Structure 1
Amino acid sequence: METHARSVQLTELTADVSITARPFFERHGSTVEAEQHPVSDGMPLTNYKMKKKLLDSAVCLSGQLACHTQDQAKTVRDHLPLHLALTRAEPGCRSFAVTATIDPLMWQVEERFEDAAACDTHQERVASSEWGQATSDIERRYLVITTVPEMVLSPGAVVSSAVPMTPSGITTSAASTVGAGASV
Structure 2
Amino acid sequence: MKKLILAATAAAFVVPAVAAAQEETGRRIEPYVGVMGGVHNFDSETGEEGIPPVGYKGRMVEGVAGVNMNVAGPLVVGVEGTASKGVSGDIDWEYGAAGRVGVKAGKDSLIFGKVGYKWVNFDALGPNSGDFHGTTYGAGVELSPADLGSSAQSSNIRLRVQADTMGNFRSIRPMAGVVAKF
For the criterion TM > 0.5, the same-fold answer is: no
User: Higher strand fraction: Structure 1 or Structure 2?
Assistant: 2
Report which of the two structures shows the higher radius of gyration computed on alpha carbons. Answer: 1
**TM-score, scaled relative to structure 1:** 0.30
User: Higher helix fraction: Structure 1 or Structure 2?
Assistant: 1
**TM-score, scaled relative to structure 2:** 0.30
